Each structure stands twice: as structure tokens, then as C-alpha cells.
Amino acid sequence: MTQTEEARYQAVRGRDARFDGEFFFAVRTTGVYCRPSCPSRPPRRENVVFYPSAAAAQAGGFRACRRCRPDAVPGSAAWQARADASARAMRLIGDGAVDRDGVAGLAARLGYSPRQLQRLLVAEVGAGPLALARAQRAHSARILLQTTTLPVTDVAFAAGFASVRQFNDTVRAVYAATPTELRASGRNPVRASSSGIPLRLAYRGPYAARPVFDFLAARAIPGVEEMEGEPGARRYRRTLALPGGPGLVAVREPSGERGWLECTVTLADLRDLAAATQRVRRLFDLDADPYAVAETLSGDPVLGPLVEAVPGVRAPGAADPEELAFRAVLGQQVTVAAARTLGGRVVSALGTPLPEPSGTLTHLFPEAAALAESPLTGLGMPASRHAALHALATALSSGEIPLDPGADRDEAEKALLSVRGIGAWTAAYIRMRALGDPDVLPPGDVVLRRALAAAGAPDPVAWAPWRSYATQLLWRAPAPSRERNGS
């Protein structure tokens, strides 16, 4: 038994939730696989086998535990932090790339052949792209079966299965139950078409919800986003442009540590459930590892007190990477409030109207092509901002700058810097939020400069690989007023 396996087994014996999603264990005598924090009695060591992913455990012939629901754990933080081909592939699979483009399309986006990609992922996570997508479909199917009244046939195709037979076989293999039996074990269902699909989006460790909701509330663009309620009991709502049509998501601010955020998703096409879920997870940074962040930053004399004051700090991402890039440009050299106003004008003039408004939510954020083709007049922008926005829109609509979940972060930042009007700070901000890089310290940021100077100019290299979290902590810390930047 290797040292790693011994450490994993001790985590299982201790039901340590810090490792949920980082690995899974299966029990040979029962034929089930579990998350490390499973409340069942720990199995004997000789009966345990470890897997790096739920898909690998399923491929090994094990079914999901009914007590701990291992398919619902947060994703591994490694896939968000890493920038190699395996991590890019995992992010794209989570976004539904295999269901939309097939394995060949996924491989082509990464510059690999399907066979090379299969070998790469099997070596890294114990399962190939088809098995990983199958595990994701099974999870989507369980959610739809247990939370909606959709007919079983509709659930099968909405979850991404090619046939009802494939759906039935997968559900039986993964959950050791028929779709009807799985539905009977769920919560009270709702009508997905009217009330939306209720989800519990799991996270690991503590979650500093208030700073995240504060951050989103301050930047909510009218027509696309809104924040309802008072701090501590707020609800964030926004529109999403999804492959199958427009969607709406609503996320409630938790009042305590429950291990998940309550979310409701309303979709034009239920096949977009996995993509919508992943976009919300990225926006709220739900796959982060707060334990690893705290371990690195808590010993720093500058950041240590801030980590203690804000346990579970998160670095908000983006629900739509291209939208975030445009918003970063719109917010250059203006206040946050002014950036919101300008964003609202852009949405009103060029956004796609929803088929039916939902409260104050009326539009999708404009597509890159619409911004590239528009003269962008009458929006109250200086000529330099107008030129930068138009150049960025042209580059994004042509595919010159990829910002999808599988984008190479270094190449994307380099391409952004080639756009006239986008400087180092803006490119770094886009990299941090749109591409979800956890290790970004925006250069030239006045708040960061002042904080470092006041602390005697410590070396921020010691904060790697979590400098995006250090940035969030320093931005929130009491400090002299910053220079204008509405991003």
C-alpha cells in the first residue's frame, strides 16, 4: 500500500469532507463507490479500491452509493487550477462539449487526435471522454428524475442520452435502480417548465458567501442581472445564453454553512442543464479548495489576518467568458456604478430580448458578432473605449481569441494584449475571472500596490498558486480609495 493510499484510507476512516471530489473509493464486497465523507461504516482496507473520478469507478463496475450520492460532490479543484491539456479537457467536458461536438470535436479543440485524448485522460483520471460524459449524463438524469415531473423519455434525451435504452442501461448500472425507482426516492418534484429545476450546488469547506454576493451585487448589469433581498438573505438572478436557447438562474445566499448553494435553473432546452450548472459553479467558484488556499496564505503576515477574517474566500468567475471580457473593457477608468450604467445601455441597445421578461431580467448580453457589427454610437463611451470594444468584439467573433473553458490561458492572455486598448491589468482581470485562473495578481493595480507598500513590499510569489484569492482578500481589506476601474 502506497503512502498516498494510506493517507486516502485515513481520510475515509475520518469521513473527511475536505477530500470529497478529489478522489473516490469503492468497496469490493458491496459493489458501491462513495465519497470520502460517506456516513456509512468505513470498510476494511483490503476491500477498498481508490479511483480518481466517479467515471473511473463506474467504469470499474461500481454503482453510486445511495447514502452519500458521490456523483453530487464538488469537482476537483485541480482541474480549475491546472492549465494543461487534461485540465482543459475536463473543463470542456463539464461544459457539455462531448454531447455537442463528440469526442472528435473535443480532441480537435485541444489539438489532439481522439486516440491521444483517450490515452491522456485514462492516465490522468482513469476514464476516457465518453465515460466522463456518461457519468455527467447520469448525474443530470438523476437530478431531472428526482426534481421534476418530466416523462422518463423526455428526461433521457434532456440528459444527453442518444436513446432510451442507453439511458435505462446507464441508470441501472450507475444507481442500481430503474429510472422509476430512482424517481421514487427523490424530493417532491416540480414542473420544470414553470418553476425551474431546483439544484443543490455542492462546495467543499467553508464558503464566504457574503463577499461573493457583495461583489456580484455591486456589478449587476440591469436587464441581465439582479440582486433581490437584504444581505444575508439575498437572491442573485441572471440570464444565460446557452446552446439550446436562453436560460435563467437564481442562486440564494446561504444563511449558514450547509455545504451547498440553492439554485433554480429555468431552461428553453433541458439538454442545457449540465452547461448551465457548470457556468453557475464557475461564477460562484464552487470547485475551489479553501483548505489549500488557507494553507498557503494563512502564514503570510499580510494575508494571514485577512484569511482568518474571511474563511472560505472565493474568487468569483464568469457565467459567460466573452461577456466578462466586454465588461472588463467597459469598466476601464470608470467607477463600478458608471460601468453598470454603461453596461445597461449596451444591453438595452444590442442585447437579445428574452421571449418573455422575468421581473427586471429582459435581455441576454449582446453576442460578440452584434457588438462587432454595431457602430456603438450614443452609448456615452470615449472614442478609445469604443475602439477597444469593437476590436475585442471582432477578435472574439472571428475566433481569433478563444475564451471557452478549454482555452489555453497563456495564449489567450497574449492574444488579448494584442488588442489595441487592452492593457496588462485588463488582460489579467479577464484571465482571472473569465478563464478561472486561481493564480493572477493584476499588474499595476493601485490597491494591491498600496497594500504591498504598506506591508514592506513582501514578495507575492510566495502566494502562488493562489494569487487570485490574495487579490480578492486585498481588494476587500480596508485601504485608501482606489483608482477608478469599474471592472
One-character DSSP codes across 416-429: HHTSTT--HHHHHH
CA 330 to chain centre: 23
Catalytic pick among 16, 20, 34, 272: 34
> Of 349, 420, 409, 350, whose CA–CA distance to 383 is shortest?
420
DSSP reduced 3-state for 250: strand
Residue 34 bears catalytic tag: yes
Residues in the chain: 487
Residue 459 and residue 161: Cα distance in Å, rounded? Answer: 51
Please state the φ and ψ torsions of residue 485, each to the nearest 5 degrees: -170, 115
Q: To 5 degrees, how large is the angle CA 265–CA 270–CA 271?
A: 120
- Cβ neighbours of residue 478 closer than 8 Å, sequence gap 6 or more: none
Q: Please choose, from the candidates 234, 238, 235, 233, the residue with its C-alpha nearest in 3D space to the C-alpha of residue 221.
A: 238
- The 3-class secondary structure across 348-411, one letter per residue, is HHHCEEEEEEECCEEEECCCHHHHHHCCCCCCCCCHHHHHHHHHHHHHHHCCCCCCCCCCCHHH
Longest dimension (CA), the chain: 71
Question: Residue 270 corresponds to which cell in the numbers above?
Answer: 433541458
Strand partners, 246: 241
Residue reference for cell 449558514? 256
Dist CA 126 CA 175 (whole Å): 20
38 catalytic per annotation: no
Amino acid at residue number 474: L
What letter does residue 460 receive in the DSSP assignment?
G
**Euclidean distance between CA atoms 300 and 289, whole angstroms:** 18
User: How far is it, in rounded angstroms, from Cα 48 to Cα 294?
Assistant: 30
Identify the DSSP state of 320: S
Using left for φ > 0, alpha for ψ between -120 and 50, and beta otherwise, residue 42 falls in: beta
Gap between the terminal Cα atoms of the chain: 50
Instruction: Look at residues 364, 319, 320, 359 and name the one whose alpha carbon lies nearest to residue 346.
Output: 364
Q: Which of 272, 285, 439, 445 is catalytic?
A: 445
Q: Which residues carry out catalysis?
A: 34, 445
